[in-house]
């Protein structure tokens, strides 16, 4: 079932999302060569729980052991944090964060650079982020879910990068994962219709090579099949009559209403 949220419910999701927006700023300051993914997980959990009533939405979800998912270089999603995984100059690391606050969930991901990265890697991040920006603009009433995937494709076409097709965005609200699925490829005008009140997580994932994926023996970490680097950016977005409203990107909202 696709849920349509009231303005008050969207605001509630936005309060959870604002914690993530502020956390991204905190991580920008802290992620550097020598930090471990376990350290990052601890920073995230402490920051989330420092907000009254907020908890990491992914902790224990389907049995996941960390507070957040942390994926390095060729890892796309669901990397398990570890104190033994230490980041080096030139790495990239994706932190995928879910927050539950007052029974409402928000979800966002951001790929950070560790020190200085090469031009090819920086271009991967730039294109992935641009594809998210374009996809968000397609989240308007009267459109279709296929418009979102088509928007991602319009940015990536001609770059030589692969769009990960087997992993998708999703509806979000009372649960982290709700209907509809939101693929990163699509045909404009196809798929479920977008209606005011829908809240969806849009999350393009790109690789420098193949779009094929595989899951490691830990049964969680998903990597590119060819070992090329991957980037992942995600926002929780409300479809409104005033246009798409990003619920996970406003640090100012966190400073005004959450912290």
Nearest CA among 139, 132, 257, 249 for reference residue 197: 139
Question: Would you state the pLDDT for residue 204?
Answer: 98
Question: Would you state the pLDDT for residue 108?
Answer: 98
Question: Would you state the pLDDT for residue 259?
Answer: 31
- The reply to whether 107 sits in an annotated binding site is yes
H helix or E strand, kind and range, residue 39: helix 37-49
- The reply to whether 3 sits in an annotated binding site is no
CA distance 185 to 72: 24
- The reply to whether 102 sits in an annotated binding site is no
- The reply to whether 28 sits in an annotated binding site is no
Q: Which CATH architecture has domain 7-257?
A: Alpha-Beta Complex (3.90)
Which residue do the tokens 């999703």 mark? 170
Per the DSSP assignment, residues forming a β-bridge with 105 are 100
Question: Would you state the pLDDT for residue 47?
Answer: 98
Angle in degrees, CA 117, 108, 115, rounded to 5: 15
Question: Would you state the pLDDT for residue 257?
Answer: 35
CA distance 167 to 148: 14
H helix or E strand, kind and range, residue 108: strand 104-113
Q: Give the three-state DSSP class for 1.
A: coil
- The reply to whether 78 sits in an annotated binding site is yes
Question: Would you state the pLDDT for residue 189?
Answer: 98
Averages of pLDDT over runs of 10 residues in the chain (259 residues) are: 98 98 96 98 98 98 98 98 98 98 98 98 98 98 98 98 98 98 98 98 98 98 98 98 92 38
Question: Would you state the pLDDT for residue 255?
Answer: 43
What sign does the CA torsion over 186, 173, 8, 2 have?
positive
Domain ranges within the chain, ordered by starting residue: 7-257
Question: Would you state the pLDDT for residue 251?
Answer: 55
Structure tokens, 104: 């409402």
């Amino acid at each position: 079932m696709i849920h349509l949220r009231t303005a008050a419910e969207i605001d509630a999701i936005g309060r959870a999302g604002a914690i993530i927006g502020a956390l991204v700023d905190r991580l920008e300051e802290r992620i550097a060569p020598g930090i471990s993914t376990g350290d990052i997980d601890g920073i995230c959990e402490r920051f989330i729980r420092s907000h009254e009533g907020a908890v990491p939405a992914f902790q224990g979800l389907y049995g996941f052991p960390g507070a957040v998912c942390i994926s390095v270089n060729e890892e796309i999603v669901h990397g398990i944090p570890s104190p033994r995984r230490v980041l080096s100059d030139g790495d990239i690391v994706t932190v995928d964060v879910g927050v539950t606050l007052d029974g409402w969930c928000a979800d966002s991901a951001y790929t950070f650079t560790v020190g200085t990265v090469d031009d090819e890697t920086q271009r991967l991040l730039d294109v992935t982020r641009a594809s998210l920006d374009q996809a968000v603009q397609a989240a308007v009433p009267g459109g279709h879910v296929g418009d979102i995937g088509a928007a991602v494709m319009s940015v990536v076409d001609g770059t030589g990068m692969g769009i990960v097709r087997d992993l998708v965005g999703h509806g979000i609200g009372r649960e982290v994962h709700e209907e509809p699925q939101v693929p990163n490829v699509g045909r404009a005008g196809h798929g479920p219709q977008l209606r005011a009140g829908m809240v969806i997580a849009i999350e393009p994932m790109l690789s420098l090579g193949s779009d094929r994926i595989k899951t490691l023996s830990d049964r969680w970490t998903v990597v590119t099949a060819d070992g090329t680097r991957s980037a992942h950016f995600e926002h929780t977005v409300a479809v409104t009559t005033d246009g798409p409203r990003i619920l996970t990107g406003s640090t100012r909202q966190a400073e005004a209403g959450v912290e």
